[in-house]
Amino acid sequence: MRSADSQTYSGYHARIPGGTLTKNNILIPEPLPAYCTEFPNLVERIANTTDVFRVQSTASTTSSSDGKPNQLLINEYSAGQGIAPHEDGAAYHPAVATISLGSAQCIDIYQYLSETDPSPPLTHTLREDVKLPSSNTNTADDAAKQHNGKAIAAVPLARVFLEPRSLFIMTGSLYQSHLHGISFSDTDILTPSFVSSVPIANLPLLGNPEISRTIEKEGSYRSERSSRVSLTFRKVEKVMKGGLGAGKGKGLFGLAKR
């Protein structure tokens, strides 16, 4: 998957159709490719499945309120590749819809441990018997890394198993005040509770019945990773009206890296 609008970030490979962001977080729009707007019309299907992309118009929002994402991020990971915990940034409406293709991979949700501005605790889980670590049990000593000067918990707060052909929607505080990342590993160990590994939050929703059967018998399920491609749909809130021609001569062409 190589093209003029593709870049490589720490091993995995990323491509961003739908337009380019200026340094001021304004999208210079380009049409999304036909493979996600015509057949299959993924954009329409996502808009029909969830209203997370329906923006309320405000003075600073110039996106349409049609409930559709307007940018696609395509990442390709080989076994062993991942992405460090991060937030997607202020350019986006706080929602993301990710389709996974190829291999399965776990995505991890991390909390900030900052004393002044911690991530809020998760208020519910998909399974009541799944115990997540409370945010109060973490201290600054548990922090593994920093992001924008704020300490991040070393152990993920939650883990979601992204099966091939699944749609994962993340919004609310998970998007706005937590971080997400994918471990640099070639194996995911799926467990139902916090024993040897972070429990899988979406176990009851998984399509592969083999996983629950194996966990019931053996206590965990081992998923070997191979190549995974993710299609991450997002909505940039500010869109340049008229596309590229509109910004000429207005000093808008400092393009953001991502």
Ligand X SMILES: O=C(O)CCC(=O)C(=O)O
Going by C-alpha positions, the residue among 113, 110, 109 that lies closest to residue 140 is 113
Nearer to ligand X, 98 or 138 (CB): 98
Contacting residues toward ligand X, per CB under 6 A:
73, 75, 83, 88, 98, 107, 180, 230, 232
Least separation in angstroms between residue 86's CB and ligand X is 6
Least separation in angstroms between residue 199's CB and ligand X is 19
Nearer to ligand X, 84 or 244 (CB): 84
Other CB atoms within 10 A of residue 241 CB: 9
Q: Which amino acid is at 44?
A: E
Least separation in angstroms between residue 250's CB and ligand X is 29
Burial 131-149 (b: 16+ CB within 10 A, else e): ebbebeebeeeebeeebee
Nearer to ligand X, 131 or 165 (CB): 165
H helix intervals, the chain: 34-37, 42-49, 172-176, 209-218
Least separation in angstroms between residue 120's CB and ligand X is 20
Nearer to ligand X, 73 or 158 (CB): 73
Question: Strand locations in 157-258, DSSP E?
Answer: 158-162, 167-171, 178-182, 187-190, 221-224, 228-234, 238-239
